[in-house]
Amino acid sequence: DAGVIQSPRHEVTEMGQEVTLRCKPISGHNSLFWYRQTMMRGLELLIYFNNNVPIDDSGMPEDRFSAKMPNASFSTLKIQPSEPRDSAVYFCASSRGGGAFPTPTQYFGPGTRLTVL
Amino acid sequence: SQQGEEDPQALSIQEGENATMNCSYKTSINNLQWYRQNSGRGLVHLILIRSNEREKHSGRLRVTLDTSKKSSSLLITASRAADTASYFCATDAPGANNLFFGTGTRLTVIP
């Protein structure tokens, strides 16, 4: 298995631009998580999905952030408009949650390093 | 918040020594996990201990859990330079599908 795939790996953009981060979870995993990591705030959970349905988006900083999961193999995190304080590493993770044999272990992608100038 | 806290924040040891990191959390848990993060990479799962377990081993890793004190420790024996990384504990609560990550311990193993 290829593991969790994220793209792009690096993104540099200017303030005010729209940014879209992409994630492909591990096949067969039905839970997907978006995290943000910074030196100041550590690892923050932004939103997570079960079976493509958003379960908890209380970590999404503000309305500029939105996330979708149109199918079991793809999710996006969009920031519009972006601001310099959004600069961080964004991780996607997946797990085999729920069902008869749930597992809490999460598998992380390599992350997208976002820099907003 | 159920977010855990690791102690110490940073630890520097010589290769071959043992490294001990501690984690404290706030509410009841189902499981506690430890993850490692190498610089510039995603987190990687190391070991999981269930709330009814007190100790678990995996290779050079030893994890203990004290639910009465809401704390856990991770011991890495005979450390190697390749163990240099940040280590995070993560807990999941009954009925919840998400994890609560601690603040991490930055381990440096000096060759």
| pLDDT for B72 | 97
Walk along chain B (111 residues) and give the pLDDT tens digit of each residue. Answer: 446 788 899 999 999 999 999 999 998 898 999 999 999 899 999 999 999 999 999 999 999 999 999 999 999 999 999 999 999 999 988 777 788 898 899 999 999
| pLDDT for A46 | 95
| pLDDT for B47 | 96
For residue A47, give both structure tokens.
Answer: 């939103």
Distances, alpha carbon B11 to alpha carbons B55, B94, B106, in Å: 23, 32, 6
Could A97 and B97 be called an inter-chain contact, meaning their C-beta atoms sit closer than 8 Å?
yes
Contact list in A for residue B48 (CB cut-off 8 A) is 104-105
User: What spatial distance separates the first Cα and last Cα of chain A, rounded to whole Å?
Assistant: 36
Phi-psi region of A72 (alpha: psi -120 to 50; beta: other; left: phi over 0): alpha
Contact list in B for residue A104 (CB cut-off 8 A) is 30-31, 33, 48, 92, 97, 99
Q: How far apart are CA A77 and CA A36, in angstroms?
A: 11
Could B33 and A45 be called an inter-chain contact, meaning their C-beta atoms sit closer than 8 Å?
no
| pLDDT for A99 | 53
10 Å Cβ neighbour count for A62?
8
| pLDDT for A104 | 81
DSSP A25: P
What is the DSSP annotation of A53-116?
EEEE-TT--STTEEEEEEETTEEEEEESS--GGG-EEEEEEEE--SSSS-----EE---EEEEE
Say how many CB pairs under 8 Å bridge A and B: 52
Give me the residues of chain A with pLDDT under 50, please: 100
| pLDDT for B1 | 46
